[in-house]
Amino acid sequence: QVQLVESEGGLVQVGGSLRLSCAASGGASSTNTMAWFRQGLGKEREFVAAIRRGDRKTSYGDSVKGRFTISMDRPKNTMYLQMNSLKPEDTAVYYCAGTSRSWILSAMSNKEGYDYWGQGTQVTVSS
């Protein structure tokens, strides 16, 4: 059974930065594609970013392009999300997700394509 454990989020001021991590237990092949999603209060769960283990190809949601960077430390089986230039609209619960499938880039944003989910971590951006 794969478990995904996110790092603690936090409270950040507008324009600030924060890095989230997601550590995956289980074999590396269980997380060939990993992703971050987020859900604001009263909103649908939204795709943030994803990365493919084999070639480290990445995909980003339009609202975070140029500000967020996803990366993966394969030996540690840990994924990161570096968030810069944070805005109040980035406030949400951030979820880590993983699947054993290596999705093509256009499929990475589909939350139905992920089998494992973390518990979520709150990120609040204050103005």
CA angle 115, 120, 126 (to 5 degrees): 145
In eight-state DSSP terms, residue 83 is: E
Which pLDDT value is given to residue 1? Answer: 83
Which pLDDT value is given to residue 15? Answer: 98
Which pLDDT value is given to residue 19? Answer: 98
**What is the rounded distance in angstroms from the CA atom of residue 115 to the CA atom of residue 98?**
6
Question: pLDDT per position in the chain (127 positions), as tens?
Answer: 899 999 999 999 999 999 999 999 977 788 999 999 999 999 999 999 999 999 999 999 999 999 999 999 999 999 999 999 999 999 999 999 999 999 999 999 999 999 999 999 999 999 8
In this structure, which amino acid lies at residue 14? Answer: V
SS3 state of residue 10: strand
In eight-state DSSP terms, residue 102 is: -
H helix and E strand count, the chain:
0, 11
Q: What's the gap between Cα 7 and its chain centre? A: 11
Which pLDDT value is given to residue 26? Answer: 79
Neighbours of 28 (CB within 10 A): 12
**What is the rounded distance in angstroms from the CA atom of residue 93 to the CA atom of residue 87?**
14
